[in-house]
C-alpha cells in the first residue's frame, strides 16, 4: 500500500503543471548559466555559479528519478528515446568540472543540457522528429540540387575561368561561388563582372537562382511541412488515446457495426 501511494505521489508530481513549469525554468536558467560562464566575473559570482550548476545537476537527477518511479512499467521508461537521452545528459553532467582532465568534457555536456528543452516540450519534439523523418525525402532533393550545382559549376568554370580565376578557377571553387550566388551574397557583382565579357551571362545566373533558391527551396519547405502535419496528427491521436477520448474512426466503425447488426436482425424478422 505504501509503495502504491508513493507511486501515485510521483505520478501526480510528474503530471503537475507547476512542476513542469519549474523544470522548464531550471532548463532556461541552465542555458543562461552556460552563457554567463563565457564572461569574466568576480570570484563571488564564480562560486555562486558553481553552486547553481551543482544544484541544477542535482535537480535534474531528482526529476529523472521521479519520472522513472512514476512509470507504470519501468521497461517503458527505457523504451522512450527522450527518456534515455535525458538520463544520459543528466548522468554525464555529473562529471566534476573542477577536474583538469575532464573539465572540457564536463563543460561541453553542460551545454547540451539546453537540449532538454526539446525533449521536455512536446511541440519541440514534434518539430525535431518531423525534421528527422523528412531527411530521407530531402536526400533526393539534395541529390538533384547537387546535380544542378555540378552542371552549373562546370559551365561557369569553362566560360568564366579567364575572367576571374578566384571565383571560377576549378569545379570546387565554382561550387562555392554558386553557393554564394544562391544565398544572394553580392551575387550581382559576380554577374556584372562576367557580363562585361558575355552580355548574355545574366541568363546563367537567373536560371540558376530560379532553380536553386526558388524551386528547390519551396520543395524542401513543402516536404518538411507535409511531414510536420503528419506528426501533429499522430501526436494528437496519441494524446486522445492516452486521455481516453474516443477517436472518430473508432466511432465510425462502431456505427457501421451497429448498422450491420440492425440489418441482420431485420433480415431475420
| Span 28-80, pLDDT tens digits | 888 888 788 778 888 888 888 888 888 888 888 888 888 888 777 777 777 77
**Is 124 in contact with 232 (CB distance < 8 Å)?**
no
pLDDT recorded at residue 160? 92
pLDDT recorded at residue 195? 92
Q: Assign 134 to helix, strand or coil.
A: helix
Task: Please give the Cα distance from 132 to 223 (Å, whole number).
Answer: 12
Closest to 209 in 3D by CA, of 192, 237, 187: 187
pLDDT recorded at residue 117? 74
Task: Please give the Cα distance from 22 to 10 (Å, whole number).
Answer: 16
pLDDT recorded at residue 250? 55
Closest to 187 in 3D by CA, of 218, 210, 171: 210
Q: Supply the mean pLDDT for the chain.
A: 79
Low-confidence ranges of the chain (pLDDT < 50): 1, 244-246
pLDDT recorded at residue 259? 66
pLDDT recorded at residue 248? 53
Amino acid at each position: 500500500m505504501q509503495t502504491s501511494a508513493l507511486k501515485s505521489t510521483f505520478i501526480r508530481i510528474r503530471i503537475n503543471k507547476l512542476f513542469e513549469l519549474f523544470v522548464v525554468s531550471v532548463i532556461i536558467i541552465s542555458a543562461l548559466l552556460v552563457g554567463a560562464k563565457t564572461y569574466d566575473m568576480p570570484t563571488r559570482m564564480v562560486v555562486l555559479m558553481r553552486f547553481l550548476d551543482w544544484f541544477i545537476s542535482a535537480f535534474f537527477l531528482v526529476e529523472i528519478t521521479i519520472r522513472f518511479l512514476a512509470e507504470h512499467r519501468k521497461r517503458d521508461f527505457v523504451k522512450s528515446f527522450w527518456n534515455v537521452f535525458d538520463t544520459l545528459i543528466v548522468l554525464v553532467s555529473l562529471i566534476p568540472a573542477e577536474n583538469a582532465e575532464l573539465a572540457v568534457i564536463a563543460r561541453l555536456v553542460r551545454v547540451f543540457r539546453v537540449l532538454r528543452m526539446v525533449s521536455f516540450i512536446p511541440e519541440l519534439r514534434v518539430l525535431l522528429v518531423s525534421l528527422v523523418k523528412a531527411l530521407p525525402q530531402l536526400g533526393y532533393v539534395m541529390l538533384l540540387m547537387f546535380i544542378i550545382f555540378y552542371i552549373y559549376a562546370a559551365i561557369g568554370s569553362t566560360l568564366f575561368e579567364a575572367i576571374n580565376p578566384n571565383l571560377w578557377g576549378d569545379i570546387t571553387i565554382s561550387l562555392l561561388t554558386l553557393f554564394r550566388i544562391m544565398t544572394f551574397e553580392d551575387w550581382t557583382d559576380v554577374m556584372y563582372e562576367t557580363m562585361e565579357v558575355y552580355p548574355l551571362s545574366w541568363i546563367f545566373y537567373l536560371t540558376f537562382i530560379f532553380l536553386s533558391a526558388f524551386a528547390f527551396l519551396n520543395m524542401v519547405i513543402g516536404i518538411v511541412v507535409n511531414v510536420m502535419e503528419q506528426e501533429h496528427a499522430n501526436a494528437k491521436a496519441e494524446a486522445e488515446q492516452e486521455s481516453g477520448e474516443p477517436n472518430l474512426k473508432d466511432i465510425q466503425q462502431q456505427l457501421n457495426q451497429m448498422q450491420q447488426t440492425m440489418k441482420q436482425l431485420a433480415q431475420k424478422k
